[in-house]
Amino acid sequence: LAKTTQPISMDSYEGQEVNITCSHNNIATNDYITWYQQFPSQGPRFIIQGYKTKVTNEVASLFIPADRKSSTLSLPRVSLSDTAVYYCLVGDDSGYSTLTFGKGTMLLVSP
Amino acid sequence: GAVVSQHPSWVICKSGTSVKIECRSLDFQATTMFWYRQFPKQSLMLMATSNEGSKATYEQGVEKDKFLINHASLTLSTLTVTSAHPEDSSFYICSAREYSDRASGSSYEQYFGPGTRLTVT
């Protein structure tokens, strides 16, 4: 399983764009990159998933360079409610893989 | 997205008793469900993988006789913490994997339940 490395914490202010980068040097050819958000005492919530280049949905964008050894989750114009822990996970979608959580990034958004 | 529920959302039990936690996939069938444990200010740790109709696969260091997992149907998996002790107090989270047949190709997506807070006194 590919190991992921993220910053332990990040600080931002309301209205700013936040970019969280995840390193996954040993990513395999069949692996996808998935980001989850977790609030205290809640289960993780799926944010976005991608394989290469750029993926965008209504809440975030995911940028993946050609070598796929890293990825960047971009949150546009964050609000206080975006304060949470963000996890980057790598795994294939064969139906046989398990998701292993790293330490995640604690994002604190201030007024 | 698909919804996964857990019951109860929190439970307090006395040391030495057993407690059962249910995990249900509400609007999809899940051949595979996962159980995680999360201690305060730590990440989720995978405890076991549960496949419908077969025995669960436990991660190294997780006692299978203490954490009994049953996945009797495609929408229900249960975790029973037997002879609970205060050190078993934790946040238990289940997840279920859904098969998705997308235009871009088929894949499996994993959805998490809201978690169950277990406190053993």
Predicted pLDDT of residue A98: 74
CB A30 within 8 A of CB A51: no
> Mean pLDDT in chain A?
92
Predicted pLDDT of residue B31: 81
**Residue of B46, B97, B112 with shortest CB distance to A95:** B97
CB contact under 8 A, B91 and A41: yes
Q: For residue range B22-51, what is the model confidence (pLDDT) as tens digits? A: 999 998 888 889 999 999 999 999 999 988
Name the band, by pLDDT with cuts 50, 70 and 90, for residue A69: very high
Predicted pLDDT of residue B106: 56
CB contact under 8 A, B108 and A93: yes
Amino acid at B71: H
pLDDT exceeds 90 at position A21: yes
Q: Does A87 touch chain B (CB under 8 A)?
A: yes
Positions of chain B with pLDDT under 50: none
Query: Cα(A107)–Cα(A57) distance, rounded to whole angstroms?
Result: 20
Please give the structure tokens belonging to residue A32.
């996808």
Give per-residue burial for B1-34: e unless 16+ CB within 10 Å, then b.
ebebebeeeebebeeeeebebbbbbeebebbbbb
More reliable by pLDDT, B100 or A84: A84
